[in-house]
């Protein structure tokens, strides 16, 4: 049936859906960048920052993708301390993870309803997605890992 449009595609192309996804991304990214650690925080962060800067290998399992991205960030960003440059990797990847959290929640709610044909169902999809994503973004553990050089933000994104 080439002429029949699925409900999922209609919601995916809804401008409000795209605007809310970008808004969740921007709100979380701005929040994380304003609260990112300016220097070396506790625990493994110092090890990750040092290893990313020299392209070394931290403790097992070594997190090679984070080290490569950390090296690129420490070389390409011309301002700020090396620690801050590597810390913002977690902020950026965590903000994108929050956006994908929004997209996943809205997808699940749409599948649960099967047909989003009323304003109530449409509002539930978007309010549920935004609420779920922002609860994730501002939860203590997620936020703490989003503002320091830890691999958890990148892992959540992947």
Residue 85 confidence (pLDDT): 87
Residue 1 confidence (pLDDT): 45
Give the number of other Cβ atoms within 10 Å of residue 54's Cβ: 11
Cα separation, 76 vs 82, whole angstroms: 11
Cα separation, 91 vs 31, whole angstroms: 9
Residue 115 confidence (pLDDT): 83
Residue 143 confidence (pLDDT): 93
Residue 92 confidence (pLDDT): 94
Sequence-ordered alpha helix ranges (H) in 14-115: 15-35, 45-54, 64-76, 82-113
Q: What is the mean pLDDT of each run of 10 residues along the chain (158 residues)?
A: 50 82 97 89 79 80 81 84 88 96 93 85 92 96 89 83
3-state class (DSSP) for residue 37: coil
What is this structure's pTM? 0.84
> 96: closest CA among 16, 21, 9, 3?
21
CB of 134 within 8 A of CB of 27? yes
Residue 11 confidence (pLDDT): 57
């Amino acid at each position: 049936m080439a002429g029949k449009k699925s409900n999922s595609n209609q919601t995916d192309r809804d401008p409000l859906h795209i605007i809310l996804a970008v808004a969740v991304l921007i709100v979380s990214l701005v929040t994380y960048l304003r609260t990112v650690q300016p220097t070396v925080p506790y625990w493994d962060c110092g090890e990750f920052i040092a290893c990313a800067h020299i392209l070394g290998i931290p403790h097992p399992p070594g997190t090679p993708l984070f080290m490569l991205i950390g090296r690129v960030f420490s070389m390409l960003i011309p301002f700020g301390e090396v620690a801050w440059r590597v810390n913002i990797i977690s902020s950026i990847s965590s903000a994108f993870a929050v956006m994908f959290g929004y997209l996943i929640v809205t997808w699940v709610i749409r599948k649960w309803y099967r047909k989003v044909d009323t304003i109530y169902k449409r509002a539930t999809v978007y309010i549920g997605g935004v609420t779920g994503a922002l609860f994730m973004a501002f939860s203590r553990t997620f936020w703490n890992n989003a503002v320091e050089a830890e691999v958890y933000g990148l892992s959540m994104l992947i």
